[in-house]
């Protein structure tokens, strides 16, 4: 028996200042909170204690069945129908962001799914705002971890409430609502059903991010950025369908000289992928979640096989996140559903480090990308960039100051 190597110390990644842009409130409830509230309201759960419930959520989210995945949300939504429960869960979410090192987070949720207990959508928005304020105050006063939390209101693709949700979002900027999203079954329901809501948001200067390129491909992404005027894409990971891998000799024969290898591989972008990259439309990439829902194509198949023959990425190392980032797309990293995917921005960063060798300059860049793509006012972006710059300068200096052997 050999002694196992000590677990790597990732405290430095935990401590990095972060920004989270794609973070579902109903996907990040603490198991113990679900157990507590379910007991109070008489909601039957598939497991009776927090540990078993956490395992149940992970199993169902990992089952590769969309029905099982969606089943998990029934239980989180069931305990998010009373005002006091929304306040509690929003407060805990803000604290969770602070523990994750997040300085600024945009947390999304769908008010129309929180009215079963008699709350109006407006009352639900107020409750979530109150919870975020309480959680942020506790994080900064008790933990010395300041966090700013904002709301993105989602409408559901399969329902007909999108205009009311867009109006609610515009009317509640003072409560910290900064954006509008449309979530839900992407393949089955077109954004065309939500024209009025998308027009309303744009006409009232409310920034829009749309779930697209997660369960469907290029048509859906194009619809989101062209018709939906989305400034960001919720996932957008299927943009890889518009990428082909070819040789330099084929793509650009004039660049081939005696010293330049004609057979070296180059990436060729279709018009849509070039638009997304060149306009730096933010991709809210959530690798752990993508692996659970088969959202991402297998890295080694992308651009080399016809689309219908490309397999899906099933492990972190075959997710195209590093390829998209290194080829200049505006990639940002988010957890999507902290509970179902058992993840956080910290966890994603650790996996990026372990699987793709990402290091602090990459985490700095990914976080700057998230600041740029965020829906905060530009003056606030400027000051957050300053905070990040200071942190990373000090961090880089400390790396240089380390003695050689431990650096
Ligand atoms: Zn999402």
Per-residue pLDDT tens over the stretch 179-214: 999 999 888 999 999 999 999 999 999 999 999 999
Distance 100 CA to ligand 1 centre (A): 18
Q: How far is the CA of 289 from the centre of ligand 1 (A)?
A: 9
Give pLDDT tens digits for 373-388.
999 999 999 999 999 9
CA atoms in the 13 A half-sphere facing the CB of 98:
24
- Ligand 1 centre to CA of 362 (Å) is 23
Please work out, in degrees rounded to the nearest 5, the angle formed at the alpha carbon of residue 274 by the alpha carbons of 269 and 276: 130
pLDDT in the model for residue 3: 62
Q: How far is the CA of 241 from the centre of ligand 1 (A)?
A: 20
- Choose the catalytic residue: 92, 106, 186, 214: 214
Model confidence pLDDT, tens digit, residues 255-296: 888 888 889 999 999 999 999 999 999 999 999 999 999 999
Say what the pLDDT of residue 146 is.
95
Across the chain, what does the average pLDDT equal?
A: 95
Q: What is the pLDDT of residues 243-257, one digit of tens each?
A: 999 999 988 888 888
Strand partners, 105: 20, 149
Tokens of 60: 């169902």
Strands (E) in 65-146, as ranges, are 102-109
**pLDDT above 80: residue 58:** yes
pLDDT tens digits, 121-165: 999 999 999 999 999 999 999 999 999 999 999 999 999 999 999
Which residues touch 301 (CB under 8 Å, ≥6 apart)? 309, 310, 311
Q: Is the pLDDT of residue 406 over 60?
A: no
Q: How far is the CA of 213 from the centre of ligand 1 (A)?
A: 11
CA of 285 to the centre of ligand 1 (A): 10
The mean per-residue pLDDT over the stretch 360-368 comes to 98
Long-range Cβ pairs for the range 346-349 (8 Å, 24+): 346/10, 346/13, 346/14, 346/16, 346/18, 346/100, 346/101, 347/288, 348/286, 348/287, 348/288, 349/13, 349/16, 349/18
pLDDT at 218 over 90: yes
Quick one: pLDDT band at residue 28, thresholds 50, 70, 90? Answer: very high
Top-confidence residue, 159 or 2: 159
pLDDT at 405 over 70: no
How does residue 407 score in pLDDT terms, banded at 50, 70 and 90? very low
Using an 8 Å Cβ cutoff, are 129 and 176 in contact?
yes
Whether residue 1 has pLDDT greater than 60: no
Query: If you measure from the C-alpha of residue 211 to the centroid of ligand 1, how many angstroms do you get, rounded to a whole number?
Result: 6
Please confirm, yes or no, whether 214 is among the known catalytic residues.
yes
- Cα of 262 vs centre of ligand 1, distance in Å, is 41
Q: Looking at the chain, how many residues does it have? A: 407
Average confidence (pLDDT) over 291-309: 95
CATH number, domain 17-389 = 3.20.20.140
């Amino acid at each position: 028996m050999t002694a196992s190597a000590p677990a790597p110390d990732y405290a430095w990644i935990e401590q990095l200042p972060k920004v989270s842009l794609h973070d579902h409130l109903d996907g990040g409830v603490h198991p113990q909170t679900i157990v507590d509230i379910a007991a109070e309201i008489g909601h039957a759960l598939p497991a009776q204690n927090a540990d078993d419930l956490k395992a149940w959520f992970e199993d169902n989210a990992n089952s590769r069945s969309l029905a099982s995945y969606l089943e998990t949300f029934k239980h989180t939504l069931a305990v998010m129908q009373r005002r006091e429960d929304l306040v509690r869960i929003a407060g805990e979410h803000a604290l969770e962001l602070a523990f994750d090192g997040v300085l600024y987070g945009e947390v999304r949720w769908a008010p129309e799914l929180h009215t079963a207990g008699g709350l109006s959508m407006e009352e639900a928005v107020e409750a979530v705002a109150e919870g975020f304020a309480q959680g942020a105050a506790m994080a900064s006063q008790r933990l010395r971890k300041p966090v700013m939390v904002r709301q993105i209101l989602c409408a559901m693709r399969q329902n007909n409430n999108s205009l009311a949700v867009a109006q609610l979002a515009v009317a509640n900027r003072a409560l910290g609502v900064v954006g509008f999203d449309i979530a839900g079954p992407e393949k089955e329901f077109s954004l065309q059903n939500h024209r009025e809501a998308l027009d309303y948001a744009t006409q009232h200067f409310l920034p829009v991010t749309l779930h697209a390129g997660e369960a469907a491909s290029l048509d859906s992404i194009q619809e989101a950025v062209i018709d939906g005027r989305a400034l960001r894409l919720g996932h957008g990971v299927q943009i890889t369908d518009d990428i082909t891998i070819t040789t330099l000799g084929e793509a650009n024969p004039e660049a081939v000289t005696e010293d330049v290898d004609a057979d070296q591989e180059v990436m060729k972008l279709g018009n849509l992928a070039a638009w997304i990259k060149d306009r730096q439309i933010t991709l809210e990439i959530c690798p752990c979640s993508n692996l659970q829902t088969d959202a991402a194509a297998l890295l080694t198949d992308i651009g080399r096989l016809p689309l219908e023959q490309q397999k899906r990425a099933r492990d972190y190392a075959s997710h195209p996140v590093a390829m998209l980032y290194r080829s200049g797309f505006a990639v940002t990293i988010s957890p999507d559903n902290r509970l179902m995917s058992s993840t956080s921005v910290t966890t994603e960063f650790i996996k990026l480090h372990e699987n793709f060798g990402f290091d602090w300059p990459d985490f700095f860049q990914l976080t700057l990308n998230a600041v740029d793509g965020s829906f905060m006012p530009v003056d606030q972006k400027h000051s957050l960039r300053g905070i990040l710059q200071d942190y990373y300068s000090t961090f880089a200096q400390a790396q240089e100051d380390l003695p050689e052997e431990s650096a």
